[in-house]
Amino acid sequence: MPRESRPREIRDVVFVDGVRTPFGKAKGQYAETRADDLVIKCIRELLRRNPGLPPEKVEEVAIAATTQIGDQGLTIGRTAALLAGLPNTTPGYSIDRMCAGAMTAVTTLASGIAYGAYDVVVAGGVEHMGRHPMGEGVDPNPRIISEKLVDTSALVMGSTAENLHDRYPSITKARTDAFAVRSQERAAKAYANDLIQPDLVPIAIRSAELGWGLATTDEPMRPGTTLEDLAKLKTPFRPHGRVTAGNSSGVNDGATAALLTSAEAAEELGLKPKMKLVSYGFVGVEPEVMGFGPVPATEKALKLAGLTIDDIQAFEVNEAFAVQVLAFLEHYGIADDDERVNPYGGAIAYGHPLASSGIRLMTQLAKQFELKPEVRYGLTTMCVGLGMGGTVIWENPNWEGNAAA
């Protein structure tokens, strides 16, 4: 007879810290920098910022990359852990859920913590799109198109954004351009107020032509962008379309990493949590309108948490395309310019290095929580290529209601 298994209790999971590199333009400041070196630097920075954490306490490292070849291949979670100085007893692995890679690394490892398999972990993501464009080296089964499992437009992200415009005719190009200008303005203001820089990891860069340098700021930002500027841009995915380079995220390079622990381990190690995990949800939608994914993913996460959208007072929505964010806001009856949504700007300004972006959302939500003790719940959400969405709901440990209780 098998032994009776001991009962398990789900444990609280906390987000202790998150960092990222400045994001770069493809073939820009990181053109001659390895992808793995970007995420290695992020892991090292987490250890530097949290000196009370002995490296040997890190029990797992999961690093996401959408294109897992070259310097983003060979089980990068393990190789990056070794190169970052973690002991060889720390295992690691790789994750791919396209844009939601880092988000999935967080939720997968968090599930392990909640179950009791780990106490301390590092999750991260990296994408060097200048070196490895999305889709490089892949061989999609032709039956996915020939058997009409998906529309052909599903494989071109910009086309899926145009399709979403078709589903939401009220979301005009004028609205998406206005949202894009606001993203640039909010990002510039956040920089001016030093809200972004504390979580950026300076990266040594080298150019054969220019020599050594230091990347300290996000390269894609375009402060001063105007509606008139955006009105002049081409619509490459459809003649007379609505999606342009100005109201979309770019093709970018960058990396992120986050330190997650059980609530008990954080207390034992003297680590101060920035957020507590409440629930998460991933869903599939029609691939040709992948930008709709955050809506049902949020519905799922809210249901699991026993919350409603009215309970959420801080939002970080990935700006793959402005239309995708506006579809989410329209569904929930939230104004385009609501100050609770991406108050420090988003991917249209900073860039979107695919698998790394989920943790950028989390670090910015953690900043919202730090500055807004009146806010109890917030969420990070994003659309995902091939028709998916992911949402994570977080609780603010600084919530002023805790003191009242």
- Give the torsion through C-alpha atoms of 162, 256, 305, 282, to 10 deg: 40
Phi, psi of 315 (to 5 degrees): -130, 135
Residues 311, 312, 317: CA angle, nearest 5 degrees: 160
d(CA 248, CA 160): 12
User: Of 99, 128, 132, 165, which is the active-site residue?
Assistant: 99
Residues 255, 257, 262: CA angle, nearest 5 degrees: 165
Sequence-ordered list of residues with C-beta below 8 angstroms from that of 209, at least 6 positions apart, any chain: none
User: Of 128, 132, 165, 352, which is the active-site residue?
Assistant: 352
User: Of 42, 132, 165, 383, which is the active-site residue?
Assistant: 383
**Given the DSSP bridges, would you call strands 275-284 and 203-207 parallel, antiparallel or unpaired?**
unpaired
352 belongs to the catalytic site: yes
Assign 27 to helix, strand or coil: coil
Tell which residue, 324, 121, 82, 398, has the closest CA to residue 342. Answer: 324
99 belongs to the catalytic site: yes
d(CA 229, CA 226): 5
331 belongs to the catalytic site: no
Widest CA span of the chain, in angstroms?
75
Hey, which residues are catalytic here?
Answer: 99, 352, 383
